[in-house]
Amino acid sequence: MSCKRLDHVCEPAPILHRALCAECRRGRTADRMVGLLLDCVNAEPIPTDGPARVLRALSIPSANVAMSRLQRRRAADRLWRRAALTLVTFVIAASAWLWHIDRDPGIRVPEPRMPSPNAFNHFRSAGLALTMDDEIGKAAARPSGPRPAPVVPLHKLEEMVKRNAEALRLVRAGFAHEYREPPIRSFSQALPHYAKDRGLARLLRVEAMLHERKGHIAQANASDLDAVELGMRIRKGGTVIGALVGCACTAIGRVGLWNRLDRMSAEEARGVLSRLDRIEALHTPVADNLAEEKWSGVAGLIEIMSAPDWRWKLGDLTSAGDPSENERLRNLIGYVVVLPYSKKAILERYQRNLDEQVEYARAFPLRPKPSPRLNVDPLDALLYPLFASLVMKDAIERCAHGLLRVSLAMRAYEIEKGKPPRNLIALVEAGYMERIPNDPFLGNRSSIRSRPGMKGLVVYSVGPDRVDNGGVPIGRKMAFEKDMSCTVMEDSIGDIVAGVNTP
């Protein structure tokens, strides 16, 4: 045999060499034949010096030592072969699993049709033309305590309105066109126009204050109604933040309408009521905003998952940019925990969670509030938010809108008839309203309620607790509660009463 390692030294050659060298493989065959020969020799009754002479000729000290070395070498060969097979199997399986969890999830995000022209462009241009933002915000702010808001000088109101004449023109020009919010398809997409939309609503409120100071009630009503319409329009096609900003804008406009209600003529009250009815038709169901929130989140996740290190990026989102060692460790843990889940599984779970909340919003108040998920990975708090509070906020706004409409109809009825209506049905019978608005906190299309009061009817909704307290408003002292704020919250106890719990 020509292999240089087959010398008279009994130490085995390296494993890789023995696996590749044909001479060594033949040597192992020869070793097995020698071993068999030794077994035969030991089994035959031959002279005791016969095996010793054979062993000396082969340079092997004894049969037991040779067989022991041969067995150890065979066991080592089997162990290494099994280890190599296990390693290759693991590498193949891990590669296949990584390919599976990193493959394209196959989810396509819909792209809505954008109207042309789009009122969004008018409102954005109006926001860019807005000046004196801070002064407008202070002038339109509601007092936070019992002290009345400081009176803004008339010349200051005139200056604000005059310097923002172009912004006001652009806003009203946008009312002539359909509005559609451009879809949000990235977590990094900036939304500066929402702050400007709120600033425009405050500007319209300042304009209404100016008209009111000059005694022009109808013009003041028109400006406040413009703020309400702006808040209704900017929700279409928007996500949760669009719905929240829209609620804030409509509330800004309703403040002035409530404040002037007792000074409106019958004609002015009818005019405001008529336009509020048209504005109500622009209301975007909050379920639609949640559905758009779902697709916005899916698109943002798909964008993140397009990068090779997407699991680390998801961990960065949960840490909110905190560079501390604990957050780095948390990111690492999050990476390991998310590792078993494929892109498709994460996205499908996200969609299922949002779909449940969309159905809850569509069926409110008939469907129970969805419970937070207790679950599966540390990204739940980020990826699976609970928007039940938005649904409640939307119900509170719709309730305030309905109470204002009923109050306007009652105001016109009382002036023209010379007495308050005996009940709400009388408003419908006299043609002031087509129907009594529904109470959004009750199912089966139950309407807003009323009871006789000292100065006429007390109109109210049962409120978030969904219990008819007989028109005792939220914030009034009840038998089992202390005085509370008149602001309506999700956990408020009492009824939402027109003229008390506003806007």
Q: Note the pLDDT tens digit of each residue in 55-86.
A: 666 565 555 665 677 778 888 888 998 999 99
**Least confident range of 41-55, 155-169, 334-348:** 41-55
Q: For position 479, what pLDDT does the model report?
A: 43
Residues facing 433 on adjacent strands: none
Helix (H) or strand (E) holding 313: helix 310-319
- The pTM score is 0.78
Q: Is the pLDDT of residue 213 over 90?
A: yes
Q: 304: which 2 tokens?
A: 């993140």
What residue ranges define each of the domains in the chain, with the CATH number in brackets?
15-102 (no CATH), 119-177+192-284 (no CATH), 312-386 (no CATH), 397-503 (3.30.700)
Contact 154, 268 (CB under 8 A): no
Least confident window among 45-59, 62-76, 80-94, 217-231:
45-59
pLDDT tier, 21 (very low <50, low <70, confident <90, very high otherwise): confident
357, 376, 418 from 373: Cα distances, Å: 12, 9, 57
Predicted pLDDT of residue 344: 86
pLDDT at 64: 62
Tens of pLDDT along 388-438?
889 999 999 999 999 999 999 999 999 999 999 999 999 999 999 999 999
**243, 289, 434 from 442: Cα distances, Å:** 22, 22, 20
Q: How confident is the model at residue 291 (pLDDT cuts 50, 70, 90)?
A: very high
Question: What percentage of the chain has pLDDT greater than the value 70?
Answer: 81
Q: How far apart are CA 161 and CA 169, in angstroms?
A: 11
Residue type present at position 278: R
- What Å distances lie between residue 114 and 170, 179, 188, 236, 263, CA to CA? 19, 9, 22, 11, 42
CB contact at 8 A, 407 and 459: yes
Q: What is the CA radius of gyration of the chain?
A: 40
pLDDT value for 478: 47
What is the pLDDT at residue 187? 85
The residue behind tokens 């840490």 is: 319
Query: What is the DSSP code (8-state) at residue 430?
Result: T
449 φ, ψ (degrees, to nearest 5) = -110, 170
Which whole number is the average pLDDT over 145-159?
80
More confident residue, 384 or 306: 306
Q: How far apart are CA 348 and CA 111, in angstroms?
A: 19
Mean pLDDT of 308-322: 65
Pick 327 or 208 by higher pLDDT. 208
| pLDDT at residue 8 is higher than 70 | no
* pLDDT band at 13; cut points 50, 70, 90: low
Rounded average pLDDT over 327-344: 73
